[in-house]
Amino acid sequence: MRLAGCRSRPLIGYLKALGVLRVVSLQVDRSARGRWSGGTFELRAELTEDELIDFLLERYSPSPVVSPWNGGSGFHPKDRREAILALEQSAEPRFEAYRSAIQAARDALRRLQITDKPSPDAKLPLVRELRRSLPNEALAWLDAAIVLTGEKVSYPPLLGSGGNDGRYDFSNNYAQAIVRCLIADAREISLESLSGALYGGTVELQRKLSLGHLSRDSSPNNSPYGEADSLGNPWDLILAVEGSLLLGAGAARKHEATTGGALVAPFTVRSTAAGYGSAVKGEPGRAEIWLPLWPRWATCAEIDMLARESRAQVGRGPARHQARTGLDYARAAGALGVAKGIDAFERYAILERAGQSSLAVPAGRIAVTERHGGAAAIQSIDRWLGNALRLGDDEHCPRDIQIAVRRLERATFALASKGSADDACAALEAMGQVEHSIARSRTAMESGRVWPLAHASAEPWIRAADDGTEEFAVAVSIASLRDRRPHSPALRDYLHGTQRMKHGAHAFDPERRHAVPAGGAVRLLAAIHARRHLDAAGAAEPTGDHPDANGGVVEQTRDMGIGASLEFDLGAWCKPQIARRFAAGELDERRILRLIRGLALLDHGGNRPALPKAQGSMDAADPAFDLMALAWMGHQMSCLGDERRESLGPRPGWAARLASDAIRPVLADCVLRLRMAGLAPIVTADDLCANTSRNTQIGPRLCAALLLRMSPENTGRIAKRITVSDRAANDPQKKEIA
């Protein structure tokens, strides 16, 4: 049977599906099975559609649901007691369990001498007494509504605060719905309502019947008549409460001490304000509930076992912990779903959006797929991410940091739940913005709650975020630049204003001594290149101890201002055709910088560095860039002797001149250096300057593009295209060909 009235959205539809499976399995056919297909529940049992309706109307025995610990439950002087009294006075055999539960609840109140709504201090003794004295059939509701954690009473958010939501009491409204449908003399109305609840269709809703937060549109705060009575289908409420007993079963026996409070129910975690359009950071919310959708037939006992044994864990090794937030659950959902035969989760946020009353807001359907790339990437920043999110939740945190952390939370949630390359790129950009914002805030730095990201491998991020674009390839090549020398400022220090510590990690620097003043993307990268040369030229590196003339030992240093020593030692290669496009201004420079800010925080020194997939288009050579790149990186070519290679490499001042648009002197020096190395350019500096004089941005672009490192093979190919070796220059035939 396809139950079109039992859909996975809204929340009451999902619970109705579980309720039908539960009552049919317990009272008609223990082999009954259910599954989800296209968001609709399907039931397989030894019943026809008409027989199912006939059973529910004539023979169904409702589960006893009593909440004497709540005001409004029907057990206290100021409560509406008509429904409880009607059930208590009914002589029908199918209400025997309900009558027994009501009597046991009255006896417990009498023994504890509670004559009115219990005070907060009286709830714990009352619940303990009820657990001891209630009949077994009534304990399912007690487990679903209340969890005893030591000396504390906690409430799984699915059923509000112990079976009530504000002034709305689930147990009393459930009893009223049973009286309307099964005791009152209105079988035709009950039949129509039941048919609509199971199979869908238009049904006339009954007045003065609320479904609480289980149905957004029929809650007391969403009445279509404004201040008029709320409307609802009583069978919706009956079946939904039955279904909640299946989800809540065993909650008190499965919680972990680390979860704390109300988060002890199956599939329940703290709210993450991300992943749905109406999400607002700081909005009062009780929790999130992630309800599984399974495509294969499953019995009620199997679903009960799934609820009892559900574990969503994130992290590895000692850092492994149970999922506590919606973001954690999104990260864990893939593995959990694959292990348990689940193909998706319906996510609901239980939020306070009208006074103290709650609404169950659908927050999206999260498909279960293998998202190892995104999971591994997030895992690498797990501790830093947790600290950043906690910092963003602090109301005293500067506003710009809160905004950056909020964006990071949304981006990592999208990466965890969908795992696309675009999501990973967005997360990288958000990581860079968070670090940049914290590094500019003395308040955040002094709080000591977040340190710069450290020891996070770049490999999983590159694999997860590589969208095949040339922008990503450029960003990886620049962000991976690094030194063998442990004390030189790193690229991230220039970008964010941090400083390198002795042990290789980084710390926030209130003085921001290494920060390069921000400008446009290209000018900032060019300024960083120039600053790098300036810092390297003023540094000295020990080369070892050597004996002096008097037989003693002195420490000698190597001049760091010559040739290639001005550049970063290591970094991923970039293909020449991609570097040319960057130098020509044909790529999205702002996106490149945003990606670099995040990628530069990662550790690119792994044993198996991931390389971007972008190949770049085959274009004609860019003479100015090619000539400078050859002079900059020609020292790598093994075909040149050591003496000739020493003539190549950048000279102090080259980068600074390019950054300030002084192109001609740099080009002239490059031509001179190439000639000294025996590689005569086939064009002159004047020719190149004439070709670039119309573009006022070409200097900074060239300077930024020359941060990119090219392989010796590609450097050799450039040399063959734009230079003539001194041997060819002395051979008339080869000179003519050249």
Separation between Cα atoms, residue 84 and residue 172, nearest integer Å: 7
482 is written with which tokens?
């690094």
pLDDT bracket for residue 308 (50, 70, 90)? confident
The whole-angstrom separation of Cα 242 and Cα 250 is 15
C-alpha to C-alpha distance for 576 and 427, rounded to whole angstroms: 28
Contacts 24+ apart (CB under 8 A), 506-511: 506/452, 506/454, 507/451, 507/452, 508/438, 508/439, 508/445, 508/451, 508/452, 509/439, 510/442, 510/445
3-state DSSP assignment of residue 560:
coil
Mean pLDDT of 277-300: 80
Distances 83 to 5, 107, 133, 230 between C-alpha atoms, Å: 26, 19, 22, 18
SS3 203: coil
Cβ atoms 77, 116 nearer than 8 A: yes
For the record, the structure tokens of 485 come out as 């020398």
367: tokens are: 């498909």
Q: How confident is the model at residue 488 (pLDDT cuts 50, 70, 90)?
A: confident
pLDDT digits (tens, 9 = 90+) for 400-442: 999 999 999 999 999 988 889 999 999 999 999 999 999 999 8
The set of residues, in sequence order, having a beta carbon less than 8 Å from that of 607 and lying 6+ positions away, is none
The dihedral through the CA atoms of 454, 460, 464, 470 has a sign that is positive
Tell me how far apart the alpha carbons of residues 183 and 520 are, in angstroms, rounded to a whole number. Answer: 75
Q: Give the separation between CA 297 and CA 42, rounded to whole angstroms.
A: 9
Tell me which of 325 and 32 has the higher pLDDT: 32
Q: Can you tell me the mean pLDDT for 343-347? A: 91
pLDDT digits over 72-129, tens only?
A: 999 999 899 999 999 999 999 999 999 999 999 999 999 999 999 999 889 999 999 9
pLDDT bracket for residue 605 (50, 70, 90) = confident
Mean per-residue pLDDT, 673-681: 88
User: pLDDT value at position 221?
Assistant: 46
> What tens digit of pLDDT does each residue of 449-467 get?
889 999 899 999 999 999 9
Amino acid 602: pLDDT: 95
**Mean pLDDT of all residues in 685-701:** 74
Q: Which two tokens stand for residue 103?
A: 């009597």
Annotate 74-138 with DSSP letters as a single string.
SSSTTS--HHHHHHHH---GGGHHHHHHHHHHHHHHHHTT--SSPPHHHHHHHHHHHHHHS-HHH
Percent share of the chain, pLDDT over 70: 81
Nearest-angstrom CA–CA distance, 439 and 514: 12
Contact predicate 701/585, CB 8 Å: yes
CA 3 → CA 37, 49, 268, 292, 615, distances in Å?
Answer: 10, 9, 26, 17, 52
pLDDT of residue 279 exceeding 50, the answer is yes
Average pLDDT over residues 312-341: 73
The pLDDT of residue 554 is above 70: no
- For the chain, what is the radius of gyration of the CA atoms? 35
Q: How far apart are CA 736 and CA 738, in angstroms?
A: 5
Report whether pLDDT(216) > 80: no
Q: Give the residue from 244, 240, 238, 233 showing the smallest Cα distance to 200.
A: 233
pLDDT 10s digits, 126-178:
999 999 999 999 999 998 998 877 678 888 888 888 888 877 889 999 999 99
CB-CB contact of 467 with 422 (8 Å): yes
Q: Mean pLDDT score of the chain, rounded to an integer?
A: 83
Q: What is the pLDDT of residue 620?
A: 61
Band (pLDDT 50/70/90 cuts) for residue 322 is: confident
Q: Tell me the per-residue pLDDT of 46-79, one tens digit each, with 9 for 90 and over.
A: 999 999 999 999 999 999 999 999 999 999 998 9
* Block residue for tokens 């709540």: 70
Kindly write down the DSSP assignment for every residue of 430-446, as one continuous string: HHHHHHHHHHT-HHHHH
Q: Quick one: pLDDT at residue 505?
A: 82
Please provide the distance, in angstroms rounded to a whole number, between the alpha carbons at the two ends of the chain: 82
